[in-house]
């Protein structure tokens, strides 16, 4: 059996589920928001790991072959404000469910896309940049700091223009609305108080000119690159994620040494899946970052890439294709 752990809003999972259903492959999808409606139990000394969904009991110890640890969300949702416990209680309950989910790793001989521990380690951008450089990928000049003087010196070294981005998740979650911090071009920091920089370190990098963006979706040994361009076929000067309309994602071929290094990079991180952002500037390719659980459903739809089919092949064959 294949177990899929994600959330009910995950379109990528819908693509994979369609392929699994078409091939009549045994799978169980668990949306973490609905966990509170499931019955679970783990027993010793005769080890069993049981999830009951819609009256069906699944003993994962006996049946589990592969896990797609896609995008588990919060273990459940409190839809009615009057029923909402204190935040500390919610955190406590969420922690119990996370422990149960990660306890699945105690089931032996199971193939994971991706191992959650490896995912967490791979999200560290300092680790990403160091490893990318080690295996031979070019990276932009980079300064990670909370020191205004360092930033001003770096700005001067880079010709008066740099980019700034978050060191960790760029998502700010608030009760009424979520905010996403995109990569921003910086030309001066003189007017910003030093105390604001000291709140937390950020990534500052040289501004790569005349750039073209590439997104590489890696699944095991398979690499699916696309070129990100405007409808006019020009590159995007700013962070392409800001642009809502007028972008094309064109399947392309990259130099073999670049794709080989990207596949190797994902493996060195201990991952099976990864979404890598590259930039080409003046005929040089630069590694920007990897998202171990990056989105890809829109690429399957717009560029016709067989990403879902490839993920299914790996889940079915335990990583051997």
Full DSSP string of 137-148: -----EEEES-H
Residue 85 confidence class, pLDDT cut points 50, 70, 90 = confident
Res 213: pLDDT: 93
Report phi then psi at 217, rounded to 5.
-100, 115
CB burial of 71-88 (b: ≥16 within 10 Å; e: otherwise) equals: bbbebbeeeeeeeeeeee
Tokens standing for residue 194: 């030093």
Domain ranges in the chain are 2-113, 141-206, 209-317
Res 65: pLDDT: 96
**Omega before 45 cis (within 30°)?**
yes
Q: Which tens digit of pLDDT belongs to each residue from 106-161? A: 999 999 999 999 999 999 999 999 999 999 999 999 999 999 999 999 999 999 99
* Residue given tokens 């978050």 in the structure block: 166
Task: Return the CATH number of 141-206, one of 1.10.8, 3.30.1490, 1.10.10, 3.40.50.
Answer: 3.30.1490
d(CA 251, CA 140): 24
Angle subtended by helix axes 125-134 and 256-268, to nearest 10: 130
Task: Return the CATH number of 209-317, one of 3.40.640.10, 3.40.50.720, 3.30.70.100, 3.30.470.20.
Answer: 3.30.470.20
Query: Hey, do 2-113 and 141-206 end up sharing a CATH topology, with the first three levels equal?
Result: no
Q: Classify domain 2-113 at the CATH topology level.
A: Rossmann fold (3.40.50)
Q: Which tens digit of pLDDT belongs to each residue from 205-262? A: 999 988 999 999 999 999 999 999 876 656 666 667 666 677 888 999 999 999 999 9
Nearest to 111 by CA among 300, 292, 273: 273
Q: Which tens digit of pLDDT belongs to each residue from 53-78? A: 988 999 999 999 999 999 887 776 65
How far are the Cα atoms of 119, 139, 204, 226 from residue 267, in angstroms, in the given order? 12, 19, 27, 20
């Amino acid at each position: 059996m294949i177990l899929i752990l994600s959330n009910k809003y995950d379109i990528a999972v819908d693509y994979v589920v369609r392929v699994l259903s078409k091939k009549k492959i045994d799978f169980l999808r668990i949306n973490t928001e609905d966990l509170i409606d499931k019955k679970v139990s783990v027993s010793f000394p005769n080890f069993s790991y049981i999830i009951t969904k819609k009256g069906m009991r699944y003993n994962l110890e006996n049946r589990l072959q592969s896990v797609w640890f896609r995008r588990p969300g919060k273990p459940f949702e409190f839809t009615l404000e009057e029923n909402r416990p204190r935040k500390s209680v919610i955190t406590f309950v969420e922690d119990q469910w996370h422990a149960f989910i990660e306890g699945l790793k105690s089931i032996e001989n199971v193939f994971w896309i991706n191992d959650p521990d490896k995912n967490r380690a791979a999200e560290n951008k300092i680790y990403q940049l160091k490893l990318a450089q080690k295996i031979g990928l070019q990276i932009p000049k980079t300064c990670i700091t909370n020191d205004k003087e360092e930033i001003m010196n770096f700005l001067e070294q880079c010709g008066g223009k740099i980019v700034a981005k978050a060191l960790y998740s760029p998502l700010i979650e608030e009760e009424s609305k979520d905010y996403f911090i995109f990569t921003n071009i910086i030309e001066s920091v003189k007017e910003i108080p030093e105390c604001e920089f000291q709140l937390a370190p950020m990534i500052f990098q040289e501004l790569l000119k005349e750039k073209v963006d590439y997104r590489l979706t890696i699944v095991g040994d398979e690499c699916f690159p696309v070129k990100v361009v405007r409808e006019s076929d020009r590159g995007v000067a700013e962070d392409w994620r800001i642009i809502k309309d007028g972008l094309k994602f064109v399947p392309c071929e990259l130099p073999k040494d670049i794709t080989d290094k990207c596949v190797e990079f994902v493996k060195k991180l201990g991952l099976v899946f990864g979404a890598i952002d590259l930039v080409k500037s003046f005929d040089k390719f630069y590694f920007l970052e990897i998202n171990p659980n990056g989105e890809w459903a829109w690429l399957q739809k717009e560029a016709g890439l067989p990403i879902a089919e490839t993920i299914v092949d790996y889940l079915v064959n335990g990583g051997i294709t």
